[in-house]
Amino acid sequence: MIFTPDTIDIIKDNPDTRRKFLNMLISSLRPNYIHLMNNYKKVLIQRNNFLRQIKIDNKLNNILDIWDEQLVELSYQIYEYRKKYIDKFSEKINNIHKKITKCGNCIEEIKIQYYSDSYNKDEFLKKLKINRDSDIKKGFTSFRDT
């Protein structure tokens, strides 16, 4: 991988830019991740279609629980991939930093953290349910972490 002056956008831009960058890196290392992301997108599309059906046809929204559970499960798996990758990346960055600064016992540390609402399935599901009425009115899922 080559870092250019434009790479600073990963830090400066919004979280979507960082997620896209992270998705690209993980996909290049773990092809199964692409499959997982595609499944997530399909479930999100199906959930959004069902939200519109509920709004238009006054369908029962208890079936939405099925889509919510699938979305939560896939989100959590994506979180696991990202967390694992960030942890490894953070470790490598710190090792490189120690070599560059020639300071094996330094307290200084570079810390990279991954924040997500999908680290806890129950919390993520709760947030989906809290936003359910709003999502039905809008016709799409407003709370996404992936």
Residue 121 and residue 70 in contact, taking contact as beta carbons nearer than 8 Å:
no
The full set of domains in the chain, from first to last, is 14-138 (1.20.1050.90)
pLDDT at residue 35 greater than cutoff 90: yes
* Mean pLDDT computed over 108-129: 84
At residue 58 the predicted structure's pLDDT band, cuts being 50, 70 and 90, is confident
* Mean pLDDT computed over 105-134: 84
The pTM of the full predicted model, rounded to 2 decimals, is: 0.83
Specify the pLDDT at position 146.
62
* Mean pLDDT computed over 115-131: 87
At residue 125 the predicted structure's pLDDT band, cuts being 50, 70 and 90, is very high
Segment 81-100, tens digit of pLDDT: 999 999 998 888 888 878 88
